[in-house]
């Protein structure tokens, strides 16, 4: 076995992980573990931008109020006000790193601020319509140049190493994390990564659904590992479905940004009729859960494959300047958005629940943190307000960095090696691909935008059968990347379904036909092993 030692181990390579690494690296030796390359996190796919109160007409309090309203009674108010207050400083940090946001002559901030659903005013700072990509590219260059940051590409975490695996650190009262077992995908060797502090920054779990705007890496790895290690998990029933994913056979995960509706895009039926005003007085600028349910309702009612988002009434130069990436990609696929509407469908987009943390990203285990979409801070409540996700990544990662700096050193212990002495090579790997496909299909059918008790029960029975088969496979055969992701998928599916079964109401992103009313008092659904 080969052991690797670091001050901080960061599992995941999105904005949260990179922000943390850069804030620690002046004093700490940091390792970033990523399943693919440094460019493959979901953060790079973010189009719209980052919400923050930057203009004199806005304030962190107004931003917080919009967040609380979208969160449908389940946001943590203290966390919400803290994050929105720190928003402007977080944006300035990105500017100081060299991120080039879209400018606008004559504006009080010097930057163009756009609007999105659920916001009471323009406060989304962006870089064209590829904000995540611009930020990631800037930070990656700094990551690569920093001598204290080591990046392990094409590595996937198997499980965390906790004190219950170490003979001289028993007991729940002192449960700690000492690092993780990591599979090197290039040679299928398992390594032990040992760290003073370990951080889960693996993103969300939208790949548990058949249709998603997320990259293939979004398989709930951090959430599943945290759960298996003993962390509490909260509000996993709140999966945000983005209302407008491009409907096209060759672009199944291409997102049409919220900002298209913010700049005047109209949702229409195939006959050109608008329908959003029938569902909400805010029409196209209603929060995402309302818009997604409205589209789902119209599609099912009329037997449609998709609806249409029309912004062709805007001038060509406006579209090319505001949405260059969307304009060019649609044109490649034969859709000129200056002349005709864009076919769109809802798709799984964001995981609002996750590993329970405090405002510094600390989990229930000593020396284990969770940041970004993997975590549940309480900011998003029952429905994430558009463009708050990257803001949370920045603010919590910076808070976690300060907290880690203040942590006392952990005494070194001897950790057990990864044991594969009783396993063999898999006999039929086709089982993995079949189970993967089945999981994602029944989650889409039974645990989607609209749910029922019977659908959830059917999903639960299938999860139990598949989990037994997957665990048997995991126990008897050498681990592979596909097997590890499948194992994480089934654990995450189980958390989503169990949480949904426990919520006997409809609130935010969770809508049940059997419990259509919203309860007077909002409560988190918290699962503990």
Range(s) of the chain covered by CATH 1.20.58.100 = 430-527
The answer to whether 376 touches 527, Cβ cutoff 8 Å, is no
Count how many Cα atoms sit within 13 Å of the Cα of residue 268 in the half-sphere of its side chain: 16
Local structure of residue 181 (DSSP, 8 states): E
Q: Which residues contact 251 (CB under 8 A, 6 or more apart)?
A: 329, 333
Helix (H, G, I), strand (E, B) or coil at 235: coil
Structure tokens given for 211: 């249709």
Look at residue 426 in the predicted model and tell me its pLDDT: 67
Please name which of 498, 474, 353, 368 lies closest in space to residue 422, comparing C-alpha atoms: 474
Reference 241, options 210, 200, 283; nearest CA is: 210
Q: What pLDDT is stored for residue 1 in this prediction?
A: 59
Which two three-digit tokens encode residue 226? 């945290």
Answer yes or no: are the C-beta atoms of 364 and 528 closer than 8 Å: no
Residues 6+ apart with CB under 8 A from 429: 480, 482
pLDDT at 254: 86
Q: Model pTM?
A: 0.90
The candidate with the shortest Cα–Cα distance to 151, out of 5, 31, 27, is: 31
Give the list of residues 6+ apart from residue 220 with CB closer than 8 angstroms, or none: 202, 204, 205, 207, 208, 351, 488, 489, 491, 492
Outline where 352-407 has alpha helix (H): 389-405
pLDDT in tens, 340-392: 999 999 999 999 999 999 999 999 999 999 999 999 999 999 999 989 999 99
Angle among Cα 283, 284, 285 to the nearest 5 degrees reads 90
Q: How far apart are CA 30 and CA 22, in angstroms?
A: 9
Is 232 strand, coil or helix? Answer: coil
Return the active site residues: 288
In the chain, CATH 3.90.700.10 covers: 242-347
Structure tokens at 412: 């070194």
Q: For residues 363 and 371, give the distance between their C-alpha atoms in angstroms, rounded to a whole number.
A: 10
Could you tell me the two tokens for 442? 């029944």
What was the pLDDT predicted at 43?
Answer: 64
How many whole angstroms separate alpha carbon 172 and alpha carbon 310?
A: 56
What angle, rounded to 10 degrees, do the helices at 221-229 and 481-502 form? 70
- What is the DSSP secondary-structure string of 446-474? HSSSSB-HHHHHHHHHHHHHHHHHHHHHH
DSSP letter at 272?
S
Which parts of the chain sit beneath pLDDT 70? Answer: 1, 41-47, 167-173, 426-428
CA 357 and chain centroid, separation: 15
Q: Which of 489, 425, 499, 7 is nearest to 236 (CA)?
A: 499
In three-state secondary structure terms, 51 is: strand
CA pair distance 511, 449, nearest whole angstrom:
7
Sign of CA dihedral 176, 178, 179, 180: negative
CATH number for region 242-347: 3.90.700.10
CATH of 430-527, one of 3.40.50.300, 3.30.9.10, 3.90.1010.10, 1.20.58.100: 1.20.58.100
β-partners of residue 152 are: 33
Residue 283 Ramachandran class (φ > 0 left, ψ -120 to 50 alpha, else beta): left
């Amino acid at each position: 076995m080969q052991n690797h030692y670091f001050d901080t181990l960061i599992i995941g390579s999105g904005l949260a992980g990179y922000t943390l690494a850069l804030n620690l690296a002046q004093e700490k030796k940091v390792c970033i573990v990523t399943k693919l390359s440094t460019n493959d996190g979901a953060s790079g796919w973010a189009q719209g931008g980052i919400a923050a109160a930057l203009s004199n007409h806005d304030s962190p309090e107004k931003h917080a109020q919009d967040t609380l309203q979208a969160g449908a009674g389940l946001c943590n108010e203290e966390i919400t006000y803290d994050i929105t207050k720190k928003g402007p400083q977080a944006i300035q940090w990105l500017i100081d790193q060299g991120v080039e946001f879209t400018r606008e002559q004559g504006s009080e901030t010097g930057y163009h601020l756009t609007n999105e659903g659920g916001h009471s005013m323009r406060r989304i700072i962006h870089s064209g319509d590829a904000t995540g990509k611009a930020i990631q590219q800037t930070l990656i260059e700094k990551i690569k140049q920093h001598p204290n940051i080591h990046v392990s590409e094409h590595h996937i975490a198997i499980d965390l190493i906790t004190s219950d695996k170490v003979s001289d650190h028993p007991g729940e009262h002192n449960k700690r994390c000492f690092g993780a077992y990591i599979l090197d995908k290039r040679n299928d060797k398992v390594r032990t990564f040992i760290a003073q502090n370990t951080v889960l920054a693996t993103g969300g779990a939208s790949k548990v659904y058949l249709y998603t705007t997320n990259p293939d890496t979004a398989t709930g790895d951090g959430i599943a590992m945290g759960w298996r290690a003993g962390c509490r998990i909260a509000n996993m029933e709140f999966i945000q479905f983005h209302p407008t994913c491009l409907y096209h056979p060759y672009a199944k995960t291409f997102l049409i940004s919220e900002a298209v509706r913010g700049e005047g895009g109209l949702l229409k039926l195939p006959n050109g009729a608008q329908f959003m005003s029938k569902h909400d007085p805010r029409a196209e600028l209603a929060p995402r859960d309302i818009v997604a349910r409205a589209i789902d309702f119209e599609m099912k009612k009329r037997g449609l494959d998709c609806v249409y988002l029309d912004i062709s009434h805007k001038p060509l130069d406006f579209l090319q300047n505001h949405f260059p990436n969307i304009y060019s990609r649609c044109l490649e696929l034969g859709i000129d958005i200056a002349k005709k509407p864009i076919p769109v469908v809802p798709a799984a987009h964001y995981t609002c629940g996750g590993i329970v943390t405090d405002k510094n990203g600390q989990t229930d285990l000593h020396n284990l943190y969770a940041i970004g979409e993997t975590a549940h801070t309480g900011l998003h409540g029952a429905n994430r307000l558009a463009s708050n996700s990257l803001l949370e990544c920045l603010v919590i990662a910076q808070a976690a960095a300060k907290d880690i700096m203040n942590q006392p050193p952990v005494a070194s212990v001897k950790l057990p090696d990864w044991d594969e002495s009783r396993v063999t090579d898999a006999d039929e790997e086709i089982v993995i691909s079949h189970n993967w496909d089945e999981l994602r299909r029944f989650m889409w059918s039974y645990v989607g935008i609209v749910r029922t008790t019977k659908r959830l029960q059917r999903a639960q029975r299938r999860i139990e059968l598949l989990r037994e088969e997957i665990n048997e496979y995991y126990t008897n055969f050498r681990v592979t990347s596909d097997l590890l992701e499948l194992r994480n998928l089934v654990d995450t599916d189980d958390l989503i379904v169990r949480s949904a079964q426990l919520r006997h109401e409809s609130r935010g992103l969770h809508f049940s036909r059997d419990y259509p009313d919203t309860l007077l008092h909002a409560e988190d659904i918290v699962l503990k092993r």
